Each structure stands twice: as C-alpha cells, then as structure tokens.
Structure 1
Amino acid sequence: MSANIQEFEKTTLRERVSHALRAAVVAGELEPGNVYSAPELAKRFGVSATPVREAMLDLVREGLVATVPNKGYRVTEMAESELDQITELRMLIEPALVARALAHIPDGDLPELRAMAQAIVDEAAAGDLVAYTEADRAFHLRLLGYAGNDRATSLIADLRAHTRLYGLAALSERGELEESAREHHEILDAIAGGNAGLVEKLMRTHIGHVRESWASAEPTQRKRNSSS
C-alpha cells in the first residue's frame, strides 16, 4: 500500500513539474536556444533534480526541448510560420468544437468554470506567467473536454504546448494582461447564455489575440532570442 502511495506521489510530482516546465517554455520564461541544467531548473521550481529530469524526458518527446549531452536541455525555437500554422489549426478546431460542447456543459459546472477563469485573471494580476499559462491551458482543455472528442482535445493540447507567448511579459509589465485574461469570462457569459454563435465568435477573437498580441515578442526579446 505504502509503495503504491509513493509511486502515486512520484507520478503526480512528475506531472506537476512537466506542466510547470511546459508552461515556462510556452510563456518564454525558458528562452529558445538557451541550455538549462536539471539542477538549475530544480532550484528554480523548488524540487529535486530527479523529477525535473523525468519531466524533461516528456518535453524531449514532445519536441519542446532537445538534450545537450553533459550540459542539460536546449529549448527548441519556433519559426513564425510554424506559429501561424498552429494558430490556423486551432482556429479550425477550437471555436466550432467549444460551440458544439455548449449543449453538454451542465449549469452546475459553471461555478467551477468561473473559478478556473478567475484563476487566469488572478495569475495575470500577480504577474506569474507560468501559473497564468498553466491556468489558461487547464481552462481551455476543460471546455474542449465537454465536446467528447478526446483526439481533438489531445491535438489542441499538443498545439498549445508548441505555441510561444513571448509577448506575455510585455503585456504584464504594461498592465494589459489582466484585461486580456477577462476574455475567458466573456466566453463563459456566452456559454451561460446558451449562445453558441457568440461562443464561436469569441473563441476566434481570443485565439487571434493569442497569435497577434500574446505571441509577439518585444524587439529586445526577439533580438535576444535570435542571438541565443
């Protein structure tokens, strides 16, 4: 029994570290081209090096980082054209799927969804970009889950993991990220009102903002990334 509990705790820790590292890559907290060691990341996230190494294996398989022998892990770079393709795929899948899922979202689930949306706003206000990115991921995948298409949800999760939101830091510094985060409440308002057409429209607008504003790096950031 105790062995099973230990294994469960180990697995959940690895999952938590994987989510945090993945969010850090997406948010640009771990910069493309830079090499990070397991001990360095362990100190940064307040865990031991073992779950970090295990979690990084997940990110290597996903193509988010590459192993650098005897040094650590290099965050892979994404071309602008790749980000455009990711956005196009998300536009084709997410808005229609979430609109279709509306009919399957119980009214009783709305308070929990509100809390999840508010968590995104709260993390934006706190300036915690990693927590913000993870809260955003959890909210959108939860909405997609109501559609009952596991393959589509898995695909979107993968696409989101490969998105790069380098502009989040600049938005946070200007105090604009919290306002953008409130878009999630607008989507929930449309869901609560049973307006599938509005849900789809708001989802398209939201994803467009992700590509146009949130994924845009400031000139200094873009220059630093290109020279890494």
Structure 2
Amino acid sequence: MKHSAQGAAGTGADTGTGAGAGRVRTATAAGAPRIPAQPGATDMARGRAPGGEPDGSARGEHTHGESPVPRPRALVQRSSVRGQILDALRSALATGELRPGEVYSAPVLGERFGVSATPVREAMQQLALEGAVEVVPNRGFRVVERGDRELAELAEVRALIEVPVWLRLARTVPAERWAELRPLAEATVRAASSGCPATYAEADRAFHRAVLALAGNEQLVRIAADVHRRAQWPPAGSPSVRGRADLVADAHEHTALLDALIAGDPDVVRALVGDHFTRTA
C-alpha cells in the first residue's frame, strides 16, 4: 500500500487557544499538532462524573431532575471532529494535495490529524458517497481519477441546472435582493486574490448557493451544490486547479453579474451567465 506523506500535506489540527481552538487546518512544516482530548472525556466514557465518582445513572440510581449532559456532549464533540476532518479532506481534494489515483489509509491520515482513524474513516466514507474517493478493501481509500471528459460532463450538468434558474431569477427577484449578495461576491474576489484554490472553491460555492437559494427550492440547492463541488476537483495528472489569474477572472464575473442583475438588464445577464459557466467549465 502506498501512503503519500505529501498527498496528506496541508491537513492537520489547530490546537491553539481562543475561538479557533481545535480547528483542523493546513499542517506546517513543523508537523501536525494534536487535537486535545476534551476535559473529563475519559470519566464520561466510564459513566463517571468529572470529579471521578460514578454518576447516578451509571450506578442504576434514579436521577430525578438531572439533565443527562455527559453523553450528548461527547457525541457532539465527535461529530465536530469528524466535520473538521471532512472539511480538511475536501480542501486537500480541491488543491490536489490528495492526489488522484493515490491510496490513503485512515490510520496514516489520522496520525497527521492527531486523531484516531475512526473520524477519518467516517469522513472518507462520506467522500465515497460524494464520488470523490473509492474504497479499496484492506488498504484504504483511493482518490478517484477524473478525466477531461468527466469534468466537461459535470460542467454541462451544472449549466443545465443553474443557467435556467439564474435567468428566471433575473426576471423575478428585485434589485434590493440582489444587492444583498454583494458581500458574498466580493468575498470571492478576495479569495481568488489569495491564490488558494480551496479558499476560492468554498467562497465560489457560497455565492452560487446564495443565488440559487432565492428560488426557494432546497432540493435544487442541495443537488447543484453537490455537482458544483464535484466539478471543482482537479483532473488526474493536474497538480492543482486553475491558476490565480483564472480564479480572479471568474470571481470578477460574479460582481459583473450582480451589477447587471441590479440594473435589470436581461440581455447582459444572459450573456454573462453563458460566459461564466463556459469559463468555469
């Protein structure tokens, strides 16, 4: 089994204090910090109160009026770690750090994150459902190799889903509602200027998701977001997604589209929407 240390680079755990404590982020050259255990986690797992004495429910006693806090808190924390790992793996896919065709095991990735293999395996299983990786029995997970044809097909599906919705919304949504999306469009420009493909991918999805949400169709938003995410993964043999100049050009199309939508110019909107989805293909 081939484990790629470089393939997992850019994933790690942030254990700093403050509001950002415990957030998984890109690992530095110094190595991957550990996600700290939660205070009292061992006692909770053994049915003990934080002070060390078994709680009433563990002894089979009635605990009238007492809120069963320990177990729900432990479950929430585990879900939080899994979510952080999933976000980090998605970013690594978007940047090409998890390389198409490579096999990665949950224990090895877990070591880099400073967590057990379980949350990594759970996150990878979610990515398998999304079509990003495939299970390799007794080895781990292989990043799916995507050719130009598959990416072109995904771009076509995106256009078929989104373009008609954009054009319909252009006729029905008032200018002030479009103006409310300005901060999201400007956020894509800042993200593109950073040159980080993963940062831009997230901002790009947020903007498109907000536009489609104006249609009031949750299923549309969910399906379009899934296709959009798949279309952002780099093809096999590509070290990364599009370069900074392409990202910046794509982001500026968001602000130009908003200008046309606020102005109520359907002809300009139609041309810009067509160009935008052709460019992002």
Give TM class, smaller chain. 0.7 to 0.9
CA separation of 1:106/1:195 partners in 2, compared to 1, >3 Å: closer, same or farther? closer
Q: How does 1:15-94 map to 2 (within 5 A)?
A: 15-38=83-106, 41=109, 48-49=115-116, 50-94=118-162
Query: RMSD between aligned alpha carbons?
Result: 2.9
Q: Distance in 2 between matches of 1:17 and 1:191?
A: 38
The match for 2:251 is 181
1:127 shift after superposition = 2.0
1:171 corresponds to 2:247: no
TM-superposition CA deviations, 1:21-76 (whole Å, max 9, x none): 334324433221012233554576x5635433322111111221012344432111
1:149 corresponds to 2:217: yes
SS in 1 for 2:131: coil
1:16 shift after superposition = 4.6
TM-superposition CA deviations, 1:107-165 (whole Å, max 9, x none): 25634x22222222222222221121111112112211111233332222222232134
Residue among 147, 156, 169 paired with 1:101? 169
Unaligned runs of at least 5 residues, structure 2: 1-66
CA separation of 1:48/1:92 partners in 2, compared to 1, >3 Å: closer, same or farther? same
CA separation of 1:23/1:196 partners in 2, compared to 1, >3 Å: closer, same or farther? farther
The match for 1:215 is none
Q: How does 1:130-145 map to 2 (within 5 A)?
A: 130-145=198-213
Q: Does the 8 A contact of 1:26 with 1:165 survive in 2?
A: yes
Q: Distance in 2 between matches of 1:18 and 1:191?
A: 35
Moved more, 144-153 or 13-22: 13-22
Q: Does the 8 A contact of 1:110 with 1:192 survive in 2?
A: yes
Percentage identity across paired residues of the two chains: 36
SS in 2 for 1:82: helix
The match for 2:265 is 195
Using the size of structure 2 for normalisation, the TM-score is 0.62
Of Structure 1 and Structure 2, the greater helix share is in: 1
Q: Distance in 2 between matches of 1:75 and 1:107?
A: 43
Using the size of structure 1 for normalisation, the TM-score is 0.74
The match for 1:220 is none
1:82 shift after superposition = 1.9
SS in 2 for 1:182: helix
Residue among 203, 207, 217 paired with 2:277? 207
| Equivalent residues, number | 207
Moved more, 88-97 or 163-172: 163-172
Runs of 4+ in structure 1 deviating by more than 6 angstroms, as ranges, are none
CA separation of 1:144/1:29 partners in 2, compared to 1, >3 Å: closer, same or farther? farther
Q: Does the 8 A contact of 2:165 with 2:212 survive in 1?
A: yes
CA separation of 1:12/1:198 partners in 2, compared to 1, >3 Å: closer, same or farther? farther
SS in 1 for 2:134: strand
Q: Distance in 1 between matches of 2:103 and 2:258?
A: 40
Q: Which protein shows a greater Rg? A: 2
